[in-house]
Amino acid sequence: MIDKALLRELTAEYGVSVDAAACERLDRYAELLVEWNQKMNLTAITDPIGITVKHFADSLAAVPLLPEKQGISLIDVGTGAGFPGIPLAIVRPDIQLTLLDSLNKRLVFLEAVCKELEIPVQRVHARAEEGGRKPELREQFDVATARAVAALPVLLEYCLPFVKCGGRFLALKGPDSDGEHRAAGKALSRLGGETAEVRKLLLPAQPREGLEQQERRIFVFRKAQHTPPAYPRASAKIAKEPLG
């Protein structure tokens, strides 16, 4: 279904190698996504090229920013249809993957995907601010990821509580997020984080006929100190009074 040659070309531009076995698993993932999307609203992107570029290549651009050590624990917060968590786990099968989402029907889909693709996974049915207060999840992960879930000051409060001290949070965002980052200083200082890197990239990196280049940002936040017990706050409080 997906354009496997295009996927390998696009990811190679970011220094990511996707072997034949990973391509086959991503292809099956795409088939399941389209099949299940007929029964529930998982994504507006269902064409093969769109899935290849906007879901898979976009998610895999984060691979070089993951810790190199083997067996890292990763929680994908507000995972939706599984992006970027499942593609990352397909290319890095050593990842100990946790998928968190507030809608159980999405988690049913993700269970089916991970079972068929033989990806060991922990699924968590919870809102992010609820999960961040659970002792079994709070500050338990080497990496947290999220893709375009909310503005950065809000997203940091949702995600940094999951990350161990010394771990990192990767936020995959669009070009309009530079202003969000400038506004996130207060949130970072209160939540125990600091900006480690801002990776700016184009998808695809090189112009290609028929593919519009889109700007992307991957913000890498390092967890420098423990998040105070007061955070994350209730969702209504986060929405009404963002820390940024």
* pTM across the whole model: 0.97
Domains of the chain: total: 1
Characterise 139 by phi-psi region: left (phi > 0), alpha (psi -120 to 50), beta (else). Answer: left
Amino acid 149: pLDDT: 77
Amino acid 9: pLDDT: 96
Block mean pLDDT (10 aa), the chain, length 244: 96 96 98 97 96 97 97 98 98 98 97 98 97 98 92 96 98 94 94 97 93 96 98 94 85
Q: Residue 90 forms beta bridges with which residues? A: none
Amino acid 148: pLDDT: 76
d(CA 81, CA 208): 27
Q: What is the residue range of 209's domain?
A: 4-240
Amino acid 168: pLDDT: 98
What CATH number is given to the structural domain containing 59?
A: 3.40.50.150
